[in-house]
Structure 1
Amino acid sequence: MLLNANIALSSSKALLVPYSSWHVPQYHEWMKDPDIQEATASEPLSIEEEYSMQRSWRQDADKLTFIVCRAISTGSEGDIPSQSQLLGESDSPASMVGDINLFLRIDDGDEGNSPPQIVGEIELMVAEKVNQRRGFGRAALLMFMRYIIQNQGAILDEFVGGGDVDVETVRKLKTGVETAGSSEGLSLECFSVKIGQANLRSLALFESTGFVRCSDEPNFFGEFELRCTDLSLGSIDGALDKAGVKGFIALPYGRTE
C-alpha cells in the first residue's frame, strides 16, 4: 500500500517503519530459520524473490506493512520519543525485530451470498527469540491497530480503488453504507488473525487485546481464527495506556526507495 510510504509510527515501546528495500537482507536472514518458516507458514525464498515480495507489499492496494524496530532511544529512561529523533540508524538491521502486516479481503460468507464486508487480517512476527517476550509484539499490534482505525477511510479508499475489487462488490459495499445511514464512507467490519493451535503465546497475546476465537475447535489447517470487532479509538487508546505504550505519534519518514 502506498499510503504509509512516508510515515513511521513511534512510541516509547517500539518504532514501526515502512518495509523498504534496505530491510530485505535482514528479513531474508530471518526467513531462513525453519522455526520462523513454520510459525509463519512460509516457504523459503531467494533474495530476488524477497525483493519482489517487498515491492508487492509496498505497492499492492490490499496490503499494508511495517517493519517493527526497537523504540527510538533518547538516552534517558522514561523519556518519550519526539519527531526530531528519527535518524537513519533508527531502522538499521541491528534495530529491526520483526514485521506486522494487514491483508484486506472481502468476506461475503461461506456460500458467497451474504452482504460483502471488508475484513482486515493481521500477521505479526517478532523474529528472533532474544527479542521475544519483551513487549515488542504487543506494542506493535496496538500501534498498528491505532493507525489503521484512525486512517481506515484512506486505507479502504486505496483498497477499493486499486482495481482488484470488482465494480459490483464496490457498489454493494457502498450501498450497505448508505443503508446504514453512515456519511463517513466505508469501514472495516473487524480485524482477523489466524494462529496455529500450538502457538499459545500468540493466542494469549491476541486474546488479551480484544480478539475472540470464532470457534472452539481449530480449522482443517490446525489454526484458530480470532476476530476483534471493537474498532473504536477509545478502546485502542485504553489498551495502549494499559500496556504502557506512551507517546504514540506518526513521524515523517523521508528515506526513499
Structure 2
Amino acid sequence: MKLNEHAAVSTTSALLVPYDHHHVLTYHAWMQDPAIQEATASEPLTLEEEYENQESWRLSHDKLTFIICQPPLSSSVVSSGEADTPERMIGDVNLFLYPHEEEDEEPTAQPKFCVGEVDIMIADPAQRGKGLGRAVVGAFLAYIEKHEQEIMEEYASDKDISPAPGLKMLMAKISEGNTKSIALFESLGFEKEGEVNYFGELKLVLRDLKGFVEKRTPEGYKELVYSRESSSRLGA
C-alpha cells in the first residue's frame, strides 16, 4: 500500500518501516531458509523476482507491509538506510485484504465488508521467544485501527468501489502444528473459529479491533516520519 510509504511505527520493542528496495537483499536471504519457506507457505524466488515483488507490494492496494527492525534511537524521524540496515532487520508483518462473503450470499463486485488477514515472520532466530512477535503484532493492529478508514479507502480506490467497504474482522491462518504462533495470536485476543482446514491450518479471528487497541496498544507506541533523504544523498 502507498499509505505507509512515508510512515514508521516505533515501540520500545521494535521499529516498523515500509518495505523498501534496499531491504530486498536481506529479505531474499531470509526466504532461502527452508524452515521459513515452510512456515510462510512460500516458494523460493530469484533475486530479480524478489525485487519485482517489493515493487508490486508497494503499489498493491490490498497488501500492507512493514519490515520489523530493532527499536530506533529517540527521534521524530526515521532515516532510511540508518535505522533499518541489514543487521537491524528482524522480519516482516503484513495485512492482506479480501472481500467478506457470508456463506449464504452470492459474491458481488461491491463488497460491503472486507476481512484482513494478518501474518508475521520473525526471520532472525536470535529474536524469537522473547515476546517480540506479540509486541509487533500489537503495534501493527494499533496502526491498522488508527488508519482503518484510509486503508479501506485505498483498497476501494483501486477497485472503483463506492462507498469504501468496512473492515469486518481480522484473522490469522496458522498451521495446526505451529503452537507458538497460535499462542501468540490467542494472547492478543484472537479466537479459534471452525476446524482445521484442508491445508492443516487453524483460523483465528479478532472482531473487536477498537477494543483491542483501547486496552493493549504496546508501550511507547508512536508514529514517525520515514525519511529517504539520507539514502538519496548516498545514491540509493
Structure 2: which 5+ residue stretches go unaligned?
none
How far does the alpha carbon of each residue in 1:128-182 deviate from its partner, in whole angstroms, 9 at most, with x for none? 211111222111101111011111111100001113xxx5xx35xx4xxxxxxxx
Mean CA deviation greater in 48-57 or 196-205: 48-57
1:116-127 paired onto structure 2 within 5 Å? 116-127=112-123
Q: Would you say 1:194 and 2:194 are equivalent positions?
A: no
Mean CA deviation greater in 109-118 or 42-51: 109-118
> Is contact 2:78-2:227 (8 Å) kept?
no
> Partners in 1 of 2:89 and 2:214 — Cα distance?
25
> Is contact 1:120-1:188 (8 Å) kept?
yes
TM-score when normalising by structure 1: 0.83
> Is contact 1:153-1:186 (8 Å) kept?
no
Structure 1: which 5+ residue stretches go unaligned?
74-80, 175-184
- 1:117 deviates by 2.1
2:153 is matched with which residue? 157
Q: Would you say 1:218 and 2:192 are equivalent positions?
A: no
Q: Would you say 1:231 and 2:204 are equivalent positions?
A: no
- 1:36 deviates by 0.2
TM-score when normalising by structure 2: 0.90
Q: Partner letter of residue 223 of structure 1? A: E
Q: Would you say 1:143 and 2:136 are equivalent positions?
A: no
> Partners in 2 of 1:6 and 1:95 — Cα distance?
19
- 1:13 deviates by 0.8
RMSD (Å) for aligned C-alpha atoms: 1.9
> Is contact 1:108-1:116 (8 Å) kept?
no
Judged with a 3 Å threshold, the aligned counterparts in structure 2 of structure 1 residues 83 and 228 are, in CA distance, closer, same or farther, namely same
Runs of 4+ in 1 over 6 A off after TM superposition: none
> Is contact 1:122-1:193 (8 Å) kept?
yes
> Partners in 1 of 2:32 and 2:97 — Cα distance?
27
Q: Would you say 1:108 and 2:101 are equivalent positions?
A: yes
1:83 is matched with which residue? 76
